[in-house]
Amino acid sequence: MRQTFILLILAVLALSAVLDARLYPRKGLAAARARKHKYQDEGEAFVVLVAGSNGWYNYRHQADVAHAYHTLRNHGIPEENIITMMYDDVANNQLNPYKGKLFNRPHGKDLYKGLKIDYKGASVTPENFLNVLKGNASAIDGGNGRVLETNEQDRVFVYFTDHGSVGMISFPEGILTVKQLNDALVWMHKNKKYSQLAFYLEACESGSMFENVLRNDMDIYAISAANGHESSWGTFCENDMNLPCLGDLFSVNWMTDSDGEDLKTETLEFQYELVKKETNLSHVMQFGDKEIAKEAVALFQGDKEDREYTEDFGLSASKSVNWPARDIELNHLISQHKKSNDLAMSNKLEYKINRIRETRRAIKKNVHMIVDKLFEGESEE
């Protein structure tokens, strides 16, 4: 009983840490794939992309969203159909040795070039995100005010990447709870804001945002990077570009697949199964209306065959150095400390490393003190 309580408290306190804080494209395979239905393009596809973090050590989230933007544009989603939320403090960060550039794989394309961002800085909030989804322009605070203007003929694709914990996902200031997200999705369904909606979520414990919550009768299909009880993973960590982890494992996997395929001949179900296999450090999950998984990816990500994307796919994300999301800052500092030949820089890095470790020890100590007090006088079981 006592040990179980300790684990429960540690899980809850992981929220504070959150707030601080093998894939080869298969050219030709998609064309030979048996389809379960005829491809039909009805209505338009609209997209919302969100990087919910800020700070240098969260580099990967903004690189993920920049990659997603270009993937969708290259597949024919119009610029005016994509709404992007990103704090935008990484590409031009003073720590960035490649000023004004973002990379999602080592020595890949600069993904910051051509990226259009609608909500930056303080306007990247859970409230704005929900109002964007619901098309509530009058309630928007900051940004350029763009919201989804969709109807029952349109399809919506939402991609969110950031930190998370059980029943919540993070924003630079504040959190979005599972109830808030589900309420918004229910409202969208009730008010006929889409014909079908696909939601890809990258975060620790991301499965908890949909498990036993998302109904299967709302024409929504969701995929999470992890189940409700585990970390998601950063990828291309400890790279030779002197950068933090460049991407997230689940995210890089689905985008690399989309980059290399004719999406008119690939179903969401096939992409899910492929990405699930390649994301080998967490359990990729699916929720909601599984019939939507039989639809073509193109209906949500664009039906133009991507001939502009010429990235070298030889480097597999799952075979690179991957770190648990919550340890990325600490692991990156340790890696930088090992490589540093500058005494002053080494001392600065060592200070940061020790501060993180001391904070973690203090949290653990306080948890045990609280539990000891609560169970004072009871025998150990």
C-alpha span between 45 and 89 (Å, rounded): 29
C-alpha span between 271 and 24 (Å, rounded): 13
C-alpha span between 213 and 234 (Å, rounded): 27
CA gyration radius, the chain? 21
Active site residue 204: yes
Q: What share of the chain is helix, strand, coil (3-state, %, to 5)?
A: 40, 15, 45
Angle at 198 between CA 162 and CA 88, to 5 degrees: 30
Q: Catalytic one among 61, 67, 204, 245?
A: 204
Q: What burial letters (b/e) apply to 294-326, b meaning 16+ CB within 10 Å?
A: ebbbbbbbbbbebeebebebebbbbebebbebb
Q: What burial letters (b/e) apply to 142-152, b meaning 16+ CB within 10 Å?
A: ebeebbbebee
Q: Catalytic one among 163, 237, 245, 332?
A: 163
Active site residue 163: yes
What phi, psi does 141 have (nearest 5°)? -120, 105
* Sheet-wide strand order for 196-202: 82-85, 45-51, 155-161, 196-202, 220-224, 285-288
Question: Would you name the residues annotated as active-site residues?
Answer: 163, 204
